[in-house]
Structure 1
Amino acid sequence: MTQNRGSVRLTALADVLRSDVVAGFLLIGGALLALLWANSPLGGGYDAIRTFTFGPESLHLNLSVEAWAADGLLAVFFFIVGNELKQEFVHGELRSPRRAVLPIVAALCGMVVPALIYAGVNFSQGDALRGWGIPMATDIAFAVAILAVVGRYLPPALRTFLLTLAIVDDLGAIIVIAVFYTDHLSLLPLAGALLLLGVFGYLQRGRGAAAALNRSPLPNWLVYVPLAFAIWALVHASGVHATIAGVAMGMLMRTVPLGGEPTSPSQRVEHVLRPWSSGVALPVFAVLSAGVVFDGLDSMFTDTAAVGVVLGLVVGKVIGIFGGSWITTRLTRAELNPSLSWIDIAGMSLLAGIGFTVSLLIAELSFPDHPEMLAHAKAGVLIASLLATVLASCVLLVRSAHYRKHGLPGAEAPPAPESALDGN
């Protein structure tokens, strides 16, 4: 009886953690805890914990605790995001190329304009110009979390738009890191990762392989977990940001059941992993990544690197995403989802100004020999993210209230039924 009660409680907790709103509060709480801890008298202990390194050096995995969280735990979240996008591309909102192209173009414009604004501010500032890539990235984890908290009644299409935009944005930022901020790219581990991704995709899509795994007396996770870890480790060893492995595997998931399967692998894995992502991966990542020490704020506001970051994220993202989307609908056959209005896109564009993980990473790669400039750039990322959160929340809370009042399609609407698209 006691065991049954414990099982029921764990099931109930997992159901709670599957909520985007709960995940959002946990993520925000973790970030606030990190900021308070890092700037308190106990800040030395915080820094000692997140810089502690462990792992096998032979596999290039002797990493700090902070890196394990940002590269490892966050890959679980990116897997779920990639998996969710795959479902949208196959069965949902993004099946229509006319709608799928809009967030992709918006993401590209939302990268280029902030970079240009930063470069304009720092054009004659010597080494500060190296940070042009910092304001390009949108932090998908924080942006989705804030949207869940403030936009309960917003149309689901807005979340899909943000997910697509943020994934393309992160992929673009990773390419920028590989091309402009990485000393060398190891092609052999990258080729190995691509080969194993091919195996992963075949096990998902190949009817014979999928059927054999389903008939096997061994649980599927005994095959997929080691395979997934090997893919992640090889991507990490290649010099590419390891979270891309999570996105790639998520996009390869099969979204329709085969044979006698009650649900697709995509649905089953998401059901199992989402509570771990929301309750463990994201909060731990936030605690270990958000602890920026605010020293010398007065001099930060005269540092062009910090000013460029703030303007790029808060102003550049809105101009790039909103402007790029609007122009695209005027010049091409691309269209905005009918359930959305342009003020919704404006609010989401402000939300995309939340730069965090990748922005902080690019800052570290930009100024390895300029600690003061690095500190100011990191502080600029956090200040810009706070401003973007406040401004976006003002717009999106009003829009959410509008949709709730008028009973228009909101986030509580049920998902579209799956279609019988073979092999996906």
Structure 2
Amino acid sequence: MFKKSNKIINYLKEFSIPLISGVIIALIWANMSDESYRRVIEDNIIGSISFHFLINEIFMVFFFAIATVEIKQSLLPGGYLNPIKRVINPILSTFGGVIGPAVIYVVLNHFIGSSQYINGWGIPTATDIALAWLAARAIFGSDHPAVSFLLLIAIIDDGIGLIIIALFYPDPANPVSAAWLLLTLAAMMLSWAMNKKKITSYWPYILICGSLSWTGLYLSHIHAALALVFIIPFLPHKKKEPYKLFEGQVLPTSALEKFEKEFSTFVDMGLFLFGLTNAGVLISGVNNLTWIVFMSLLIGKTGGIFTMSYVAMLMGFPLPKGMNKKELFTAGIIASMGLTVALFLAGSAFTDIDMQGSAKMGALFSAGAFVVAFIVSKALRLKKTIKQKNKEPALEIIK
């Protein structure tokens, strides 16, 4: 019975069923009864706390934490991003993935757009980390270096997105209050001290330091979901990252491993609620703005990431171990999935409801990059990592 339920859970995780189901239900619900959808998702439940707040500001804390664990493990000796010079490549790629879409947006807007659309240049600059992570695992396999590569890009991308929002799309009612970030800095220092004192349980780090970090980000009006990104690097861990075996075969021994083991399934299943909360977009008028946003994401992200990564390679900063240029190109396509973050930016960039709707449709279409990436992976006959019992991750041709 336990093995059977484990099999079902692994199947759901491998094919991103929870997230996809949430997105589909949200789209159907919003377009059948937008009023009831908004009432459930956006109305306050207790005080000023809404369902949207609980998912985007609380639940996503753990999603970003698991993503940070993946990156942390990849940076350890034996990991895909070790030695440290391999980190430079995805960092430079991130800048390509931000600049590329903005440039493509401006160019396309010049030829087929309008002066009213120009303020939307920031919409295609962001990658949806949840969609990208799950798409990468589905196409490459969960142990493929391209997954860590994409995660690092998406997290840095998220940070750049926050800067873009603060500088170019500020909310007059909630201006950034940087002084509160001292709380997040204090949380990092406390985490470091706990690590030095050899506190091996992850709970004090998460509950005490995580809460302090979250409070600092929230009060500074910066994305509070990133709270544990600043704490996870201080969790005690093994000196070397071993190859992973089947889930449950090896008991985790370090705080880092235990946290990942005990929260990864919760995060994967909880992404259903993330999709449900963020994908309720009204299917409205499709016009040139829609295609400008969509093509800027698809062409700009893919081209920007591939170009800057190639430049990094020429400078002597290689791709992660086991990753090649074909996989880099496919990863760039996956990174063009900008659904939820792009939806938020569309609401910030335009005050006109019709323009918001058209731009949001372009963001919605960007989820189709998963299909494009899957077709490209088949055409390029990429290799997918699979887990074999008591063996190192193996490779198979994607069929």
Scaled by the length of structure 2, the TM-score of the pair is 0.85
* Distance (Å, rounded) in 2 between the aligned partners of 1:188 and 1:13: 48
- Indicate yes or no: 2:390 matched with 1:403: no
Give the alignment of 1:122-161 within 5 angstroms. Answer: 122=109, 125-152=114-141, 156-161=144-149
Classify 1:179/1:149 alpha carbon distance in 2 versus 1 (closer, same or farther; 3 Å). same
How many angstroms does 1:78 deviate by? 0.3
Amino acid at match of 2:293: V
Is the Cα–Cα contact under 8 Å of residues 17 and 23 in structure 1 kept in the other structure?
A: no
Q: Which residue of 1 aligns with 2:287?
A: 301
Is the Cα–Cα contact under 8 Å of residues 105 and 324 in structure 1 kept in the other structure?
A: yes
- Indicate yes or no: 2:97 matched with 1:110: yes
Give the alignment of 1:6-45 within 5 angstroms. Answer: 9=2, 13=5, 17=9, 21-22=13-14, 24-40=16-32, 42-45=33-36
Gaps of 5+ in 1: 1-7, 57-61, 215-219, 405-409, 417-424
The partner residue of 2:66 within 80, 89, 100 is 80
Q: Output one character per residue of 1:224-268: Cα deviation in whole Å (capped at 9) or x when no partner.
A: 4244233213312211111221322223322238xxx97111001
* Distance (Å, rounded) in 2 between the aligned partners of 1:228 and 1:23: 30
Q: Which residue of 1 aligns with 2:259?
A: 269
Give the alignment of 1:90-101 within 5 angstroms. Answer: 90-91=76-77, 92-101=79-88
Amino acid at match of 1:234: G
How many angstroms does 1:98 deviate by? 3.2
Greater mean alpha carbon deviation, residues 72-81 or residues 355-364? 355-364
Q: Output one character per residue of 1:131-189: Cα deviation in whole Å (capped at 9) or x when no partner.
A: 1111011111111212222334x871111211121122112112222222224211232
How many angstroms does 1:45 deviate by? 1.7
Q: Which residue of 1 aligns with 2:318?
A: 335
* Distance (Å, rounded) in 2 between the aligned partners of 1:13 and 1:348: 31
SS at match of 2:356: helix
* Distance (Å, rounded) in 1 between the aligned partners of 2:309 and 2:204: 44
Rg comparison, structure with higher value:
1
Is the Cα–Cα contact under 8 Å of residues 20 and 148 in structure 1 kept in the other structure?
A: no
Gaps of 5+ in 2: 240-250, 394-399
- Indicate yes or no: 2:184 matched with 1:200: no
* Distance (Å, rounded) in 2 between the aligned partners of 1:202 and 1:248: 14
- Indicate yes or no: 2:277 matched with 1:288: yes
Q: Which residue of 1 aligns with 2:75?
A: 89
How many angstroms does 1:374 deviate by? 0.8
How many angstroms does 1:31 deviate by? 0.9
Classify 1:349/1:223 alpha carbon distance in 2 versus 1 (closer, same or farther; 3 Å). closer
How many angstroms does 1:338 deviate by? 5.4
SS at match of 2:373: helix
* Distance (Å, rounded) in 2 between the aligned partners of 1:38 and 1:172: 30
Q: Which residue of 1 aligns with 2:108?
A: 121
SS at match of 1:39: helix
How many angstroms does 1:223 deviate by? 6.7
Q: Which residue of 2 aligns with 1:188?
A: 179
Q: Output one character per residue of 1:296-316: Cα deviation in whole Å (capped at 9) or x when no partner.
A: 2xxx223x3x23211210111
Over aligned residues, Cα RMSD in angstroms? 2.7
Q: Which residue of 2 aligns with 1:59?
A: none
* Distance (Å, rounded) in 1 between the aligned partners of 2:392 and 2:220: 38
Is the Cα–Cα contact under 8 Å of residues 106 and 165 in structure 1 kept in the other structure?
A: yes
- Indicate yes or no: 2:333 matched with 1:350: yes
* Distance (Å, rounded) in 2 between the aligned partners of 1:230 and 1:289: 26
Is the Cα–Cα contact under 8 Å of residues 183 and 216 in structure 2 kept in the other structure?
A: yes
* Distance (Å, rounded) in 2 between the aligned partners of 1:341 and 1:129: 36
Scaled by the length of structure 1, the TM-score of the pair is 0.80
Classify 1:315/1:227 alpha carbon distance in 2 versus 1 (closer, same or farther; 3 Å). same
Amino acid at match of 1:295: S
- Indicate yes or no: 2:387 matched with 1:412: yes
Is the Cα–Cα contact under 8 Å of residues 136 and 146 in structure 2 kept in the other structure?
A: no
Is the Cα–Cα contact under 8 Å of residues 105 and 325 in structure 1 kept in the other structure?
A: yes
* Distance (Å, rounded) in 2 between the aligned partners of 1:251 and 1:18: 27
- For these two proteins, the number of residue pairs brought into alignment is 374
Q: Which residue of 2 aligns with 1:278?
A: 268
* Distance (Å, rounded) in 1 between the aligned partners of 2:340 and 2:291: 19
- Indicate yes or no: 2:358 matched with 1:376: yes
